[in-house]
Structure 1
């Protein structure tokens, strides 16, 4: 076992599906994540608490479900329920800073609009985009130094847009060279930070062992638009992209919003050939990001920091990319958007090449980081430290199910709650019919069994399990939802 507190490197992506990088997953080249898995621990059943950016990221900071931290939908939209976290709510960044960690942050923020990462214990190193945050112009200055003009949509090759009056760019090839992209820039910023820690001893002298430091890099991909430079844009042939099993979706017996969302997102007319073009770019985007992760891991090793640094790779939530014929995410609690990648390499703690089947949540990372840093863990969190699982021990009281929420997106509020066990998934839909899936017989979640007479006992058991979770986390709907159950 290592002595002392570890340095921590959190490498977060945006809308990365777990099956992109899981063992025996999709045919996508991700050697850096494969390397982390072979040298650390992979979590087979990691889930986001909610499939929407601001809400999930706020949960990661606080260790709370969205109903408790209040960021129910995206903070940058005009209909945001809140644009800022409650000022008295503790976050892991502030607590680690108070315990002497040197915290830095690069990339996407998308949590609190009035306050950036500096308000939560981090030094911000730049890399935000104007759409979500507009925190700095570091990337624009970096590209100007490369003598590369900012691209516009007219410079895109073979762009793919959604249908409708206000089309959304889905995918394209950019003529910008890889080193002039934001993805590459964020890796550069991260490597610069690592080098600075070695040179300055975390500003206190003494070299790489002086730490501890906590650095977080939030890549803005593989979130759409899947705009990718060559050679990654052409790396995957659309004709060789295997059709999703979920593409057989008929919407029979599903909540009405599922089919209506095709029109809402502007993909009602997309056939598989169209989706395959987008998926190929999505795959290329992930490989491009993975190459940057590899550059960061190589720099960590070259600087002699591998043994003293815990590396965590995860994503805020997943992405449909044509699964169930859907685009982006929304009021659909399928595996593609709720199951997320999570791998941890902590030399001396994690056994190389191990896999954990226990259910865990993205926001379990908050108390994990605090435990690693010997910082006080706030009372009342809806999360548990992953430390025992990483050490190969599963507590007797570890949950054998996972719970998630959805409160709405830009189209309005929409209450959903989910409980998922090893075999089944039950989804409560406030405005419409509930859902029940037998994931052993129907891993693509195509058949809603909520009204099937042979599954009545299963449904009732899962309804009870859902209510138990709602009571455990003080969900404000816990007193009302049970009254809606029954035939």
Structure 2
């Protein structure tokens, strides 16, 4: 461990189900959606163009971030709050970055969403929990209820307009899933505002403490995960009539695993037309901007307390959101970039080059190793992640080239959710993506020729060499990370190439 006074504070702002394209450096969505704070973070720090979640489901991704492991390593393969949870809590003895930082003298605090254990809380992993959610999922804790009651707008008494529900009638709230709405409450009465307030309180408290003890604060926002319920001015900030649906809206499911079409029906959006999707996307974008503005208030607090130059700021999301991509809602067993490509920006004053961009493919759970290296703490052998510090150091490798031996691909997996349990694996390079689907047809996409991932090339003769090489990469990764399916999947893939 290095001397305490040389180690940076760390502020991690994690959003829930935020798409990469909303805050990308370019592109039609990024040019439309207002993300002034995230854009500022990219301009003053390092923007990662190719960051990916190891799994597109909340509990599993958040457990990976905490443990530095792929889901098959920590064992939390699906959401912990459902009846079909394969593992409701992290098993005892699994090393986490937070406990390691706590042992090394960091003062850790946490606000907002948790969802990494049915019976566990952040306090079981070295954090002091300051409120903002319940122990595992989406309920509202007593503190927020009291806050709303004091303001004269008790939770549950707000008026909702422009409602959208899944099902055959998007305006019918008698069944289906709540997708989006305009709420009558003021911005100051949203949970996003409340979580920002709690985070600002934590920053001010840290500022009043002994500066020789660095802090790590984690602020987890509930959103832009559905339901996309936002107040004015965010509810009408984006006009549905001016929204262009994504290219992948042209999805036909031809040549794709049957579960893709099944999921559209299961999620209840099969009957959504173009106008409904545009309205939902407008609310999603409004939610993104609402949270971005609250993030801005947090950064203002860092500045006003004099902590900016001493604090690393990291913004990421656990995974993305379809929001109409491929005409899908939420997430699921579809390994498209809509839900696997995530935003990641890091600002480390005096280390990162302002406005720098990294093109290396990285995983969300690489942050676990990164935080430990920042804190001068040894990275446990159990971690499947590598520190991003070599990519952040402006005095390190040239920005245009990766450090030697840096991987040129990322891997991901999925194990099912309430729709059923099954296994998927993915390997993605800059140009290609291969998806192994155990019970159905595999997928192969040429992301350069088909960025919308509409054409499955798994059986195309011109891509046989690419398919073979990616399958070999997947086999090697499974062996390297002790994937339990390595006992039989490699044989299946080799046999497929020989047939």
Band of TM-score, shorter chain: over 0.9
Alignment correspondent of 1:160: 164
Secondary structure of the residue aligned to 2:319 is coil
> Following superposition of structure 1 onto structure 2, how do residues 158-307 of structure 1 map, counting pairs within 5 Å?
158-163=162-167, 166-199=175-208, 201=209, 206=210, 209-307=211-309
| In 2: Cα distance, 1:129 partner to 1:29 partner | 30
Q: Deviations over 1:121-151 (max 9, x none)?
A: 0000100058816584111112122222212
Q: Deviations over 1:96-116 (max 9, x none)?
A: 011110000000000111110
Q: Deviations over 1:390-433 (max 9, x none)?
A: 11423311111110010111111121000001110000001100
Alignment correspondent of 1:448: 456
Alignment correspondent of 1:15: 17
Deviation of 1:243 (Å): 1.2
Secondary structure of the residue aligned to 1:369 is helix
Q: Deviations over 1:286-313 (max 9, x none)?
A: 0000000110111101111000000000
Match of 1:480 among 481, 488, 493: 488
> Following superposition of structure 1 onto structure 2, how do residues 460-479 of structure 1 map, counting pairs within 5 Å?
460-479=468-487
Deviation of 1:377 (Å): 1.3
Cα 1:135/1:236, change in 2 over 3 Å:
closer
Match of 2:106 among 101, 104, 128: 101
Q: RMSD in angstroms over aligned alpha carbons?
A: 1.5
| In 1: Cα distance, 2:491 partner to 2:90 partner | 31
| In 2: Cα distance, 1:211 partner to 1:381 partner | 26
| In 2: Cα distance, 1:124 partner to 1:387 partner | 27
Q: Is the 8 A contact 1:321 1:328 kept in 2?
A: yes
Secondary structure of the residue aligned to 2:229 is strand
Deviation of 1:483 (Å): 2.2
Deviation of 1:119 (Å): 0.3
Alignment correspondent of 1:309: 311
Secondary structure of the residue aligned to 2:10 is strand
| In 1: Cα distance, 2:49 partner to 2:481 partner | 24
Segments of 5+ residues of structure 2 without an aligned counterpart are 169-173
> Following superposition of structure 1 onto structure 2, how do residues 125-164 of structure 1 map, counting pairs within 5 Å?
125-129=130-134, 132=137, 134=139, 136-152=141-157, 155-163=159-167
TM-score (norm. length: structure 2):
0.94
Once the two structures are overlaid, the 10-residue window that deviates more, 326-335 or 460-469, is 460-469
Alignment correspondent of 1:343: 345
| In 1: Cα distance, 2:188 partner to 2:428 partner | 41
Alignment correspondent of 1:36: 41
Segments of 5+ residues of structure 1 without an aligned counterpart are none
Q: Deviations over 1:316-346 (max 9, x none)?
A: 0000011001000000000010000000000
Aligned length: 478
TM-score (norm. length: structure 1):
0.96
